[in-house]
């Protein structure tokens, strides 16, 4: 179960299979929320994208749900990233990957 503390997705709860350090959260034109949590996920045209960063700690929980959706899910919470990356940086995997790596480098303590 993944929740969002602030920003446009505040109050949303998603059942995601992964808890990445940085997460692209999407809102479709109908107002439905999802996240690009799986490797290879790509945004659809018309979806709005928002970058979120995980807040620790993360733990796993087993959920019993119908329709074969039960299983182990991460329990995680995210906060909106400020400033947001550009839309182009979030829409392509190579640019998203480069942006995420740059953020991690910025956060590394200097010796």
pLDDT in tens, 56-71: 878 767 666 666 666 7
Distance CA 26, CA 96 (A): 14
Which pTM was predicted?
0.87
78 vs 63, more confident: 78
pLDDT at residue 26, rounded to an integer: 98
Q: What is the number of domains present in the chain?
A: 1
Could you tell me the strand order of the sheet in which 2-4 lies? 13-14, 2-4, 71-80, 48-63, 22-27, 33-35
Supply the DSSP string of 10-70, one letter for each residue: TT-EE--S---SEEEEEE-TTS-EEE--STT--PPTT-EEEEEEEEEEEEEEEE--TTTT-
Containing structural domain, residue 17? 2-107
- Percent share of the chain, pLDDT over 90: 70
Q: Are 18 and 74 in contact (CB under 8 A)?
A: yes
Judged against a pLDDT cut of 70, whether residue 45 lies above it is answered with: yes
Distance CA 58, CA 79 (A): 14
pLDDT in tens, 24-36: 999 999 999 999 9
Q: Give φ, ψ of 93 to 5 degrees.
A: -60, -45
């Amino acid at each position: 179960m993944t929740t969002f503390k602030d920003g446009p997705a505040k109050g949303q709860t998603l059942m995601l299979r992964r808890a990445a350090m940085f997460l692209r959260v999407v809102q479709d034109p109908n107002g439905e929320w999802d996240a690009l949590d799986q490797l290879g996920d790509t945004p659809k045209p018309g979806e709005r994208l928002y970058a979120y960063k995980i807040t620790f700690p993360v733990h796993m929980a087993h959920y019993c749900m119908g329709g074969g959706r039960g299983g182990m899910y991460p329990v995680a919470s995210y906060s909106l990233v400020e400033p947001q990356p550009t839309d182009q940086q979030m829409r392509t995997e190579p640019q998203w990957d480069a942006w995420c790596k740059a953020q991690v480098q910025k956060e590394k303590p200097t010796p």
